[in-house]
A and B are shown apart, each in its own frame.
Chain A
Amino acid sequence: MSPRAALHSPVFRDYVLLTFGLLTIAAIVLLSLRVLLKKNVRSVWIIYRSWLAIVPAMGAVVFLGREAVIIGTTLLSILGFKELARATGLYRDWWMTGAVYLAIAAVGAASLAPDPATRAPGWLGLFLALPVYAISFLLIIPVIRNKTHGQLQAMSLSILGFIYIGWMFGHLGFLANAGHAYGYVLYVLLATEVNDIAAFTFGKLLGRHPLRSNISPRKTWEGALGAAGVSMLMPWALRFSFPHFSAFELVVTGLIVGIGGQLGDLCISVIKRDIGIKDMGAALPGHGGVLDRIDSLIFVTPLFFHMVKYFNGLV
Chain B
Amino acid sequence: MDEWHYQPVSDLEQSLLQRLRRFPREPDMLCYGIRSASALALRAWLACYHRFTIIGRENLPATGPYVLLSNHSSHLDALCLLSSVPLRRLHETFPAAAEDYFFVNLPRMVLSALLINALPFNRQGRTRRSLALCQHLLTQGNILVLFPEGTRSVTREIRRFRPGIGLLLAGTTFAAVPCYLSGAREAMCKGSWLPKPRRIILTIGAPRSYADRPRDKGSVLQICRELQCAVEQLQEGQFTAGSQPVPKPALSSSATMSGGPG
Residues of A within 8 A of B (CB): 86-89, 91-92, 94, 97-98, 153, 274-282, 285
Contact of B13 among A97, A274, A276, A277 (CB under 8 A): A277
Contact of A87 among B6, B14, B15, B27 (CB under 8 A): B6
Contacts of B7 in A (CB 8 A): 89, 92
Contact of B14 among A91, A275, A282 (CB under 8 A): A282
Expressed in whole angstroms, the Cα–Cα distance for A94 and B18 within the complex equals: 23
B17-29: contact bitstring with A at CB < 8 Å (1 yes, 0 no)?
Answer: 0100000000101
Nearest 8 pairs of A and B residues by beta carbon: A89-B7, A86-B9, A282-B15, A275-B6, A88-B6, A87-B8, A282-B13, A89-B6
Contacts of A87 in B (CB 8 A): 6, 8-9, 12
Expressed in whole angstroms, the Cα–Cα distance for A280 and B18 within the complex equals: 16
Given known contacts A94-B29, A97-B29, A98-B29, A89 and B15 CB-to-CB distance under 8 angstroms? no
B13 in contact with A279 (CB, 8 Å): yes
B193 at the interface (CB under 8 A from A): no
Expressed in whole angstroms, the Cα–Cα distance for A274 and B4 within the complex equals: 10
Expressed in whole angstroms, the Cα–Cα distance for A88 and B6 within the complex equals: 5
Expressed in whole angstroms, the Cα–Cα distance for A278 and B13 within the complex equals: 8
Contacts of A98 in B (CB 8 A): 29
B8 in contact with A281 (CB, 8 Å): no
Contacts of B4 in A (CB 8 A): 153
A86 in contact with B29 (CB, 8 Å): no
Contacts of A280 in B (CB 8 A): 12
Which residues of chain B (179-197) have a CB below 8 Å from chain A?
A: none
Q: Which residue of B lies closest to A98 (CB)?
A: B29
Contact of A275 among B8, B18, B27, B29 (CB under 8 A): B8
Instruction: Name 14 extra pairs, CB < 8 A, besides A86-B8, A91-B9, A281-B12.
Output: A86-B12, A87-B6, A87-B8, A87-B9, A89-B6, A92-B9, A92-B27, A277-B8, A281-B13, A282-B12, A282-B13, A282-B15, A282-B18, A285-B15
Contacts of A276 in B (CB 8 A): 6
Expressed in whole angstroms, the Cα–Cα distance for A277 and B8 within the complex equals: 9
Contacts of B13 in A (CB 8 A): 277-279, 281-282
Expressed in whole angstroms, the Cα–Cα distance for A153 and B6 within the complex equals: 10
Expressed in whole angstroms, the Cα–Cα distance for A315 and B203 within the complex equals: 69
Contacts of B9 in A (CB 8 A): 86-87, 89, 91-92
Taking the nearest CB of chain A, how far is it from the CB of B209, in angstroms? 33
Query: Which of A92, A275, A282, A285 has the most chain B CB within a 10 Å cutoff?
Result: A282
Expressed in whole angstroms, the Cα–Cα distance for A92 and B7 within the complex equals: 9
Contacts of A282 in B (CB 8 A): 12-15, 18
Q: Which residue of A lies closest to B19 (CB)?
A: A282
A277 in contact with B29 (CB, 8 Å): no
User: 30 A-B pairs, CB-CB below 8 angstroms?
Assistant: A86-B9, A86-B12, A87-B6, A87-B8, A87-B9, A88-B6, A88-B8, A89-B6, A89-B8, A92-B7, A92-B27, A94-B29, A97-B29, A98-B29, A153-B4, A274-B6, A275-B6, A276-B6, A277-B8, A277-B12, A277-B13, A278-B13, A279-B13, A280-B12, A281-B12, A281-B13, A282-B12, A282-B13, A282-B18, A285-B15
Q: Which residue of B lies closest to A282 (CB)?
A: B15
Expressed in whole angstroms, the Cα–Cα distance for A126 and B85 within the complex equals: 46
Taking the nearest CB of chain A, how far is it from the CB of B52, in angstroms? 31
